[in-house]
Structure 1
């Protein structure tokens, strides 16, 4: 399990975030036929406009989370763990951070989408309390949409 807690990202983390995202999502380029959306994001802008969290191991960024408050939910925009750091609890720590972001902003639901070609995610998110809410094409990607309720009294409130 991860001992490293997510911390807010700064502009100094942007290059590390880009490397991490390229490593984590690169394997999906062939499946999707183009770079997945997280590989095209402007992380310098997101650090300024969203809640961006990182987990470090040594000098490397090994986990990243991007959340954005919407009127009725928290959008979990990007979550990634370096392939070399997977299985160490970093994904769980980042998902817990997303739950806390929602609660901190008075929101009771976290939503996300994943590409339908990322078949591993279609099993991963339901095991973490998310349920599928729909499928469709968005921004040229075939997406699967998920949502999860969060409450201050639930297990996600432990910090």
Structure 2
């Protein structure tokens, strides 16, 4: 059975979480321009993220198999770095992590959840649309003239 919970610095190994993120995003290596920043995450970068972000983890039989960051931004909570270990995909882990962010957002009084997704990843766009997210705009990464990502939100 998979459960979700907040990151616990006394219990959870950041190096293991970095490895999980790298495994989850490895399929995009060489396929995105610019390269996904998730592939350059490190223990230090996660430690810095944790200064202003909540981290939720999914476990399967006591093993961390998914992670997602949640950042409060005005009236919204930004969902970032949704990562599920490729070995356990298709078991509803991403959904449970999104639900954890949604519960956190509701508890903080946020009006919506926002996220960014690469335009090149239509399957990911479709996934978030199935969970109630809608497009709110597009933006270009630094150094690009045309949009590279889609901004999405889900009203609570």
TM-score between both structures, scaled by the size of structure 2? 0.86
Counterparts of 1:32 and 1:5, CA distance in 2: 31
TM-aligned CA distance change 1:67 to 1:148, over 3 Å: same
2:87 alignment partner, SS class: helix
- Per the alignment, residue 157 of structure 1 pairs with none
Aligned residues: 148
Counterparts of 2:107 and 2:119, CA distance in 1: 30
1:87 alignment partner, SS class: coil
Counterparts of 2:84 and 2:92, CA distance in 1: 10
8 Å CA contact 1:63–1:81 kept in 2: the answer is yes
Do structure 1's residue 8 and structure 2's residue 14 form an aligned pair? no
8 Å CA contact 2:2–2:61 kept in 1: the answer is no
CA RMSD of aligned residues (A): 1.8
8 Å CA contact 1:55–1:63 kept in 2: the answer is yes
8 Å CA contact 1:54–1:64 kept in 2: the answer is yes
TM-score between both structures, scaled by the size of structure 1? 0.84
2:68 alignment partner, SS class: strand
Counterparts of 2:34 and 2:141, CA distance in 1: 14
What is the CA deviation profile of residues 32-80 of structure 1, one whole-angstrom value per residue up to 9, with x for unaligned ones? 1453122334112223321101112345321001000011211112211
Which residues of 2 match residues 34-45 of structure 1 at below 5 A?
34-41=34-41, 42-45=45-48
Do structure 1's residue 105 and structure 2's residue 111 form an aligned pair? no
Q: Which runs of 5+ in 2 are unaligned?
A: none
8 Å CA contact 1:136–1:143 kept in 2: the answer is yes
TM-aligned CA distance change 1:96 to 1:59, over 3 Å: closer
Q: Which moved more, 1:31-40 or 1:109-118?
A: 31-40
8 Å CA contact 1:26–1:35 kept in 2: the answer is no
Q: Which runs of 5+ in 1 are unaligned?
A: 151-159
